[in-house]
Chain A
């Protein structure tokens, strides 16, 4: 894993994110209920919580892919839902499943952004793409197609594709899910190193306790569409809130299995 990143021209111009009283309703179900968060510029902010609690939906609001039913999301002073914001802030979202362009090779997946925005000539694009690939040790995969990649490689390509954009705000949706422990640790290191070297604000949605406790500046817990608690990893080492404690350290109890208690809950 190469450890050098070129200094992005956007270093120092990194953005915070403010989520204020965000409520989101799909049809008749309210998925987010009055969510407020403050992500500070340059920090690694983890969002944890059970499946289906609304983490991805929060991230999509930050990326401007969903519009709030009420409340607002701001990136710096810009409204995240306004398409114009994407001209002012370099924002990249690493999708949980990668969302790679299946009809393009790995190289072309990465080259698409600089090509479409005509950032430099083909030689410059090549440098940029190969640099991003080398950061994630993906040089050999450059001419493969997404369908030929393993899950872990897809995630790394997705991160490399985000890096090509020289992001000022980097949103990760479960970057370590479905990966083996070594690859999870590697990705955790990558996320931390990227922030170290480019000061990019990083919002990481994750179930991965190891990741969150190793690199997060702060962690927010989302339960059933509401913020249950926000704090530093140290504060959550032994959480006072029993719900968070149970989420972080579920006890496997075969005498009194919890699936028998699930019947009436939503999950």
Chain B
């Protein structure tokens, strides 16, 4: 029961943080420098790992589906399978997990340490709302960067799958056939759905990580505890939201 009230309290607190942050939306143009810095930290520095991981996920997907489709002679549809899976599911989810692990954790650590070392209190006494200076630029940056990262993940996954399909002897689907299969059954909506998912995940991760960081209490030890909590919560939220958002998108 206590656990339940605590969770409801945290959900309420997170929503309140969102409302308090959105109140400062008109200040975004003059916080350009912070926004660009966050785009760089969230987006640009995540590029290498997003590229590598999605390339290999696409490759493995091609290997596995090549193996299982062999049985009923549907190898020519590998491109369709890899393409749709990356765009609708694995691209957004994988990018979200990476963002939770390397950006969300860093944000929580930074805000938690600011809280523990009273920098947040200092901002408050200086009449500078922490939501305006710390949360808004990060939320704005994730909204811009998430679709970009998801598109890059899709492209890398598709090309990884194409390479594997062409050069694996047991599959041997050349990239022309692969990409025509990919295009034949892919609607713009499939890609859009994936981007919407990525957007939802990214936004929720950053909001939750900011909330947990800003609500850290106690000494330096708690910084580590907050980071763990932020990453675990983000991962759970990604997978739970994934189900509901997918369902909503499929039947809309």
Contact = CB atoms under 8 A, between A and B. Distances in A.
A101 B119 contact: yes
Interface in A66-89: 86-87
A99 B121 contact: yes
A139 to B, nearest CB: 22
A165 B119 CA distance: 16
A179 B127 CA distance: 29
Interface residues of B, number: 14
A116 B118 CA distance: 19
Contact of A117 (B113, B121, B125, B127): B127
Interface residues of A, number: 21
A95 B127 contact: no
Interface in B107-152: 110, 113-114, 117-119, 121-122, 124-128, 133
A99 B127 contact: no
A99 B126 contact: no
A97 B117 contact: yes
A133 interface: no
Contacts of B113: 102
Contacts of B117: 97, 99, 102
Nearest to A164: B126
Interface string A78-122: 000000001100011101010111110000000011001100000
Contacts of B125: 63-65, 86, 91-93
Interface in A38-77: 60, 63-65
Contacts, number: 47
Contact of B118 (A97, A103, A112): A97
B220 to A, nearest CB: 12
A141 B124 CA distance: 25
A101 B110 CA distance: 11
A99 B118 CA distance: 5
Nearest to B126: A113
A113 B118 contact: no
B126 A165 contact: yes
A65 B124 contact: yes
B122 A95 contact: yes
A93 B127 CA distance: 12
B118 A102 contact: no
Nearest to B132: A116
B126 A112 contact: yes
A101 B127 contact: no
A207 B110 CA distance: 32
Contacts of B127: 86-87, 117
Contact of B119 (A64, A92, A93, A99): A99
Interface of A: 60, 63-65, 86-87, 91-93, 95, 97, 99-103, 112-113, 116-117, 165
Given A65-B121, A99-B117, A101-B122, 17 more contacts: A60-B121, A63-B121, A65-B125, A86-B125, A86-B127, A93-B122, A93-B125, A95-B118, A99-B118, A100-B122, A101-B119, A102-B113, A102-B114, A102-B119, A103-B110, A113-B126, A113-B128
16 contacts: A60-B121, A63-B125, A65-B124, A92-B125, A92-B126, A93-B122, A93-B125, A95-B118, A97-B117, A97-B118, A99-B119, A100-B119, A102-B117, A113-B128, A116-B126, A117-B128
